[in-house]
Amino acid sequence: MNIILLGPPGAGKGTQAGKLVDARNMVQLSTGDMLRAAKTSGTDMGKKVAAIMDAGELVTDEIVIGLIEEKLDGEAGGGFIFDGFPRTLAQADALGELLERKGATLDAVIELQVNDDVLVERIVGRARDAVAAGGTARADDNEESLKVRLMEYYKKTSPLIGYYYAKGDLKAVDGLASMDDVASSIAAVLDA
């Protein structure tokens, strides 16, 4: 089973992907993790990624699709979770073409729906809790950074909601419910 988790920054995509990896033996394909791993791999693709990232530039869709294709050729386990990809309509088209070429399908696109004001409070609260516990907060876990990230999400990624809805693939889940309730809602979508 191959799925996409959609939702704004802080909606819990990474947390829920981790639960699916544990519960269903799925493979999480986080583009951020894949790019960091490629950068240090020493492979030809890795050297290309490192040069682009070191120059402070964005990695092209073609490179990201190439990294995903390498992963799809590996061990599938219980299927793949696309986390952080696609982010644009062009990437969604490229992913669809790649899956088709591999004889694979996209089984569900799960949107973690959240209220922005509650989300901002959640993330800022998470940062406060981390500091209060003697740890450190993520550098981008503050209200201003989150609002910039949310604006970027709505400009580039939210059109995917309509795209996948029109294809009949989109399922919505309340991303503000408890972690276990969100996991149960996702399980219900996957088991339907």
Catalytic site positions:
13, 87, 126, 138, 149
Total Cβ atoms within 10 A of residue 126: 14
**What residues contact residue 75 under an 8 Å CB cut-off, 6+ apart?**
27
Phi-psi region of 60 (alpha: psi -120 to 50; beta: other; left: phi over 0): beta
- State the Cα–Cα distance between residues 103 and 191, nearest whole angstrom: 22
C-alpha of 32 from chain center? 9
- State the Cα–Cα distance between residues 159 and 109, nearest whole angstrom: 13
Cβ(4)–Cβ(31) under 8 Å? no
- Token readout for 139 is 């550098």
- Token readout for 28 is 């999480």
> Is the peptide bond between 159 and the residue preceding it cis, with omega within 30 degrees of 0?
no
Strand blocks (E) in the chain: 3-6, 27-30, 80-83, 108-113, 170-174
